[in-house]
Amino acid sequence: MTTALETPPTGTLRDALVARLTALADDELLLGHRDSEWTSHGPLLEEDIAISNLAQDEIGHAVLWYEVRARLDGSDPDDLAFHRDPEGFRSCLLVEMPRGDWAFTMLRQFLFDCYEAEALPRLARSPYPPLAEAAAKAHREELFHLRHAGLWVRRLGLGTEESRSRALAALGVLWPEVGGLLAPLPTDADLVAAGYLPDWEALPGAVVARARAALGAADLDPGRDPVVPAVNARDRVSPQRAELLATLQSVARADPEAVVW
Amino acid sequence: MAAAWEALRGVADPELPAVNVVELGVVRSVRAVEGASGGTALEVVITPTFSACPALHVIEASVADAVSALGVAVRVVTALSPPWTSDDMTDAAREKLRAFGIAPPARHGGLVEIALEAPVRCPRCDHPDTRLRNAFGSTLCREIRTCRACGETFERFKPL
């Protein structure tokens, strides 16, 4: 049991926490947006409703992280989402890529859910209460995501030749990018040393093991472990991120003074 | 204080108009605090059911309005911890949900995965033989099921 910190962190530790929260929030926001692109285009009405629910949850979790960040630096979550330039985002390529086909969307959702299933319980043990509380809240809701995406992985892997070949094609693109999702920020080491991110070094191995077990049960072999770069590339703007944000921010930017939408 | 709780029992969840926010477990506490201008204010702590639930903003405003109507200053605070669970819902709220046509969540004591697999009775004919149609529904807190006995398609409030 760790002792709760009475006061919020200051100085470089605060900046490191702001950076980590930004990465957490941006991944959720961009994945939520990509999922939402299926709303009214789902393959079945049931799946359309399900993917729209997932999108809403992920965007809600982005809000949780932006609000924790706001307590540290006074930033405005809406402003961060809708008026920040692509250079200021810290999302990873995994969540930025276009939605692709249904297999690509569900495999991506599944891999991200595996990551959250390991990251959120760790963050829920952080001694910084706002971070721990947000993580505990999100973790409870993620159960429904993992169950849903996990079923789709089995359905795709064990279904037809067509579903299986699409799942493998998607995995070929997505699996290496799990490395970028898991790569540490340059300032994460400070947070780990100060105890803010409990058991964080074990996260990549745990995520890969969890994903492999479920993929194996669906007869999907992702091949070699993804390479986790020593430093991630989240500060580099991918064309996919720029394209996504141009859409996500277009309405807000069309009338930046608007108070009611 | 009693008047404040009574007023809060008049606030319905906009997505579940059959139940009020107190019996839903969304209102955590009411206490007297020092107001912004020096006098006394009532601080109402609320918590979201699902964190992305859009009803929370409406509930926040309705809670403030309901307490203000008593002629006291009010501050509404949102707390995430401990996270809301469907076990926080009272028995009265469960009965109202059933009467409204939504199967209530089973009490699970933390064993959500077991509650998700347990039989769900049809809110129309009370038969336990119902099947899951979609783990997601019209709001984040609901799933869609069909009763094999009477054929009714209905929603269940998810155990969380």
Q: What is the CATH number of the domain that holds A42?
A: 1.20.1260.10
Q: Does A71 touch chain B (CB under 8 A)?
A: no
ipTM: 0.88
0.80 exceeded by pTM = yes
Q: Which domain holds residue A204?
A: 11-254
Contact A140 B144 (CB under 8 A): no
Is A108 within a domain?
Answer: yes
In whole angstroms, what is the distance from residue B143 CA to residue B104 CA? 11
Specify the pLDDT at position A34.
98
Residues A129, B138: C-beta atoms closer than 8 Å = no
Quote the pLDDT of residue A4: 57
Chain A nearest-CA distance from B82, in A, is 8
Q: Which of A46, A192, A171, A45 is nearest to A114 (CA)?
A: A171
Confidence label for B54 from pLDDT (cuts 50, 70 and 90):
confident
The full DSSP string for A85-152 is -GGG----HHHHS---SHHHHHHHHHHHHHHHHHHHHHHTT-SSHHHHHHHHHHHHHHHHHHHHHHHH
Is residue B45 within 8 Å of residue B27, measured between CB atoms? yes
Cβ distance of B135 and A141 shorter than 8 Å: no
What's the domain count of chain A? 1
Binding-site residues on chain B for chain A (CB distance < 8 A): 48, 50-53, 80-83, 85, 112-113, 116, 133-138, 140, 144, 158, 160
Mean pLDDT over the full length of chain B: 94
A221 lies in some domain: yes
pLDDT digits (tens, 9 = 90+) for A162-217: 999 999 999 999 999 999 999 999 999 999 999 999 999 999 999 999 999 999 99
Within a domain: A16? yes
Question: Considering the domain boundaries, does residue A18 fall inside one?
Answer: yes
Neighbours of B102 (CB within 10 A): 21
pLDDT of residue A1: 36
Whether residue A44 is contained in a domain is answered as yes
**Residue A6: pLDDT band by 50, 70, 90 thresholds?**
low
pLDDT value at A47 more than 80: yes
A259 in a domain, yes or no?
Answer: no
Chain-chain contact of B137 with A60 (C-beta, under 8 angstroms): no
* Domain annotation covers residue A155: yes
Q: Is residue A130 part of a domain?
A: yes
